[in-house]
Amino acid sequence: MTTFADLGLDPKVLSAVTDAGYETPTPIQAQAIPHALAGRDVLGIAQTGTGKTASFVLPMVTMLSRGRARARMPRSLVLAPTRELAAQVAENFDIYAKNTKLTKALLIGGVSFKEQDALIDKGVDVLIATPGRLLDHFERGKLLLTGVQIMVVDEADRMLDMGFIPDIERIFQLTPFTRQTLFFSATMAPEIERITNTFLSNPERVEVARAATTGENIEQGVVMFKPSRKDRQASEKRDLLRALIEREGAACKNAIIFCNRKTEVDIVAKALKKYGYDAAPIHGDLDQSQRTRTLTAFRDGELRFLCASDVAARGLDVPAVSHIFNYDVPSHAEDYVHRIGRTGRAGLKGRALMICVPSDEKNLADIERLVQREIPRVDNPLAAGRNAPADEVQDAAPETETAEPAAQPVTQDPASAGSADETPQDKPAPRARRDSRKRTAEKKAPVKSASSSGEQDGQAGQEGKPAARDKDGRIIGMGDHVPAFLTRPFKAPAD
C-alpha cells in the first residue's frame, strides 16, 4: 500500500500531513504528486471529495521550500473560481506548510485592497486568488507575474461556466512560458481541453475515474413533483422540502440545500427559519464577511442547514455533510456532480435528494445522460391522501348545473394570510357570488305556472318561471338559460 512517505515529499510536509491525521493518499494524490514533483504539467480529473486540493498543495510546498520570495513577485499562483474555494485552498496551505517559512496572500473580492497590497509588497511565495481580483491588482501596478514558477487552475470547468476563460487566457500570457502548470477538476468540457492543449506542455493526464461520475457511497434520489396549480408551485415545493427533511429524521444531521437563483436561496432560508429550522443563506450577493461567518458556522456544526447557490457547489470541503437537497434541478448537468459531491466525502456515506417539477424534466434527462445512470425515483411524502383542491373540482364541473352545490365554509386565520409558505384559501370569485345570490333569489321568488301555449312560447325561460317543454318533455328554445334581454318587450318598427 502506498503511503505519503513513498511519494517523495519533504519531511516537514510529511510531518504536517501526519499531524493532520492522514496516513494513506487517495488515488488522485498517489498518481498526481509524483508527476508534479518531477516538474511535469498535470491534468488531473477525479470525483469531488477525493483530495484534489492536496494533490497540488503538497508538491507545491515541497518544491517552494528552496528559494525566497521577492516583493510583488509571487513564486506560485493558484486560481480558484469562487472566494470560498480560494479561502479553502489558503486554509489547506496553512495546514501543510506550518513547518516551513513559506508565506501566502489571498486575493479575493470583498476585502480591502490596502491589506492585500501590504502582503504583496512584503513578497509572498504562494498567491491564491480569484481571476477578477488578481487582474485588478495587476492593472493597478501592484503585482508582477513574471516570477511565477508553478501555476494551478482549480475547478477548471467552473472557470468556463462563470465566464473566466478570457481572464484565464490573459493571466497565462502574463506568466513565464517556462512555468509548470497543473489543472484539476471533476469534469472536463471540450473547451477546457482546448485550453489545456494551448497552455500545457505535454501534460501528464491523471484520471482516476471517468469524468463526471458520482461517488458510489452517495445514495441518490429524485422526487417527481407536480403542483396542484401553477401559482402554488413555490409554496407547495417548500412544503415538500420540509417533508423530505422530516422523513429523513435523525439521519439528517446537517445538509446543504442548493437553489438555482440567489433570490430563491433567501426565500427558502427564510421559510425554513419560520418553521423552526436552523438555516442561513449563502450566495454571491451577500457581503463577504457574512458569507465567511455563515460558512464557518456550518463547518463548526453551529448551523444545521446551509441554503446555497452554486457558489458553494465547487470544491468546498465541509466534513461530514450527511445530506444534499437539490431544491432546483441544476441547469447545467455538471453542476449536479459537484453539488452532491459535498456529501459522501473522504469515504463517508451520504444521501442526495432532488425535487423535479415538470419544467425541469429536460435538465434531469441531461444529468442522467451525463452520469450514465438513472437516478432512482423517490415517493413524494405529501402524496399520500392528497385530494384535488376544491377550485380544481369546481373548474372541472360543467357549466350547466342541475342542482345547487353544497356551500363550503371558508375559514382563514388573518395572521397567517400572505405568508411565504402558506397558500391562503381562494376567496370566491365575484361572478360566483353573483350566481349564488341569483340562485337564492330564484328560490324565494313565487313560481307561476304557464297557463297557455302562448305563454309557453312567448314567456318560457323568463326569470322565476320553469322552462317550457313539449309533449315529450324536451325543453323548447333556450330553456332556463335564455338571456334576460331577449325576454324584454320591444316595439316593432313601423313598416
Beta strands across the sheet bearing 255-258? 218-224, 350-356, 323-326, 255-258, 305-308, 279-282
The architecture in CATH of the region 4-207 reads: 3-Layer(aba) Sandwich (3.40)
What's the pLDDT score for residue 451? 39
Q: What is the DSSP letter of 418?
A: T
Distance CA 125, CA 129 (A): 13
Distance CA 168, CA 155 (A): 12
Q: 462 pLDDT exceeds 60? A: no
Highest-pLDDT range among 66-80, 410-424, 452-466, 468-482: 66-80
**Mean residue pLDDT across the chain:** 80
Among 131-145, 326-340, 448-462, whose mean pLDDT is lowest?
A: 448-462
What's the pLDDT score for residue 282? 92
Is residue 34 within 8 Å of residue 8, measured between CB atoms?
yes
**74 compared with 439, residue with greater pLDDT:** 74
Q: 382 pLDDT exceeds 70? A: yes
Residues 146-201: tens digit of each pLDDT: 999 999 998 877 777 677 888 988 999 999 999 999 998 767 777 777 778 888 88
Report residue 423's pLDDT band, with 50, 70 and 90 as the boundaries.
very low
What's the pLDDT score for residue 387? 41
How far is residue 229 from each of residues 186, 234, 299, 367, 389, measured CA to CA in Å? 39, 10, 38, 26, 9
Sign, CA dihedral 195-201-206-207, equals positive
What's the pLDDT score for residue 173? 92
What's the pLDDT score for residue 288? 79
What's the pLDDT score for residue 495? 58
Residue with cell 438555482: 260
What's the pLDDT score for residue 395? 38
What CATH number has the domain spanning 218-371?
3.40.50.300
- Count of positions (residues) in the chain: 495
Q: 446 pLDDT exceeds 60? A: no
Amino acid (one-letter) located at 47: Q
Angle at 26 between CA 20 and CA 31, to 5 degrees: 120
What's the pLDDT score for residue 319? 75
Q: Taking the domains of the chain in order of start, what are their residue ranges? A: 4-207, 218-371
Q: For the chain, how many helices (H) and strands (E)?
A: 17, 13
Q: 409 pLDDT exceeds 50? A: no
What's the pLDDT score for residue 422? 39
Residues 66-119: tens digit of each pLDDT: 888 888 999 999 999 888 889 889 999 999 999 999 999 999 988 889 999 999
CB-based contacts of 304, cutoff 8 Å, min separation 6: 253, 254, 255, 277, 278, 279
H-helix segments, 345-463: 361-371, 390-396, 430-444, 453-459
Q: 464 pLDDT exceeds 60? A: no
* Host H or E run for residue 135: helix 131-139
How far is residue 30 from each of residues 5, 196, 329, 365, 469, measured CA to CA in Å? 11, 22, 34, 35, 93
Distance CA 434, CA 404 (A): 14
**One fold for both 4-207 and 218-371?**
yes
Joined together, the cell numbers standing for residue 207 give 484520471
Q: 293 pLDDT exceeds 50? A: yes
- State the pTM of this model: 0.60
Residue with cell 324565494: 444
